[in-house]
Amino acid sequence: MTTGLTYATYVDQIATLAVVASNDANFQIILPQAITYAENRMCRDLDFLTTVATNTSYATASGTRQVNIPVSAFVTLQQINLISPAGTTNPELGTRVPLLSTTTDFLNMVYPSNTGAGLPQYFALLNQNAFVLGPWPNAAYTIELVGTVRPDSLSASNPSTFISLYLPDLFIMASMVYVSAYQRNFSGASANDPQMPVSYESQYMTLLKGATVEEARKKFQSSGWASMSPAPVASPSRG
């Protein structure tokens, strides 16, 4: 099996498929956005296990139920754990208290004020960068946030990524869908080759099916919540 792509080999392959010089000034201008398009699309389609990250740089404030985090901190928030006792900054030296997700309606009704403040048990998202807790915290507890992030993009200064190394075929196909627009080849009367984006899109979707199964296996989300490939001949399913 051949190795994945580096930034240099990626640029060469895209230039070859697009039939353009790799040092063409206009090509170099659109290349970063082609990479962004391909990487973002793959991250959304596949929800990579490798993009799950942990952040422990935030803490509650006594008597304040709302916690704010930067919009850029996470794409999706999956878990919120508090570290007990209060003041413990290293999660491995304390006890994780997993918070249950609920609604702001529930928290407003059950915990309308800081009366009875204590160790929170619930959280509810207000928006992309804020959540509220219940009961209201009675001290400064370290917060362990777990969620998905956008990985650093492939570039000259970041010459290899998980996507470029392990999914180079899918990466190339996704990139070429975008490059088709650069070459004015999206379907339409004015397109030089209206089938170009259709062909790359079709191949992307074909490759995506296998990558989706592989990513599900990593998370033990395959058939029967196992890590094995789905076996269509295995019948009946194991209970």
**Residues 39-79: pLDDT tens digits?**
999 999 999 999 999 999 999 999 999 999 999 999 999 99
Residue 31 has pLDDT above 70, yes or no: yes
> What's the confidence (pLDDT) of residue 66?
98
**Residues 114-173: pLDDT tens digits?**
999 999 999 999 998 999 999 999 999 999 999 999 999 999 999 999 999 999 999 999
- Provide the number of structural domains found in the chain: 2
Question: Domain of 86?
Answer: 52-148
Same structural domain, 25 and 140: no
Same structural domain, 161 and 112: no
In sequence order, what DSSP letters do the residues of the chain get, joined into one string? ------HHHHHHHHHHHHTS-TT-HHHHHHHHHHHHHHHHHHHHHH--GGGEEEEEEEE-BTTB-EEE--GGG-SEEEEEEEEESTT---GGGSEEEEPEE--HHHHHHH--SSTT-BS--EEEEEETTEEEEESPBSS--EEEEEEE-PPPPP-SSS---HHHHH-HHHHHHHHHHHHHHHTT-SSSTT-S-THHHHHHHHHHHHHHHHHHHHHHHHTT-SGGG-SSPP-TT--SPP-
Determine, yes or no, domain membership for 232: no
Q: Which of 125, 148, 171 is the last residue of a domain?
A: 148
> What's the confidence (pLDDT) of residue 133?
98
Same structural domain, 14 and 27: yes
**Residues 213-227: pLDDT tens digits?**
999 999 998 887 888
Same structural domain, 123 and 56: yes
| pTM, rounded to two decimals | 0.84
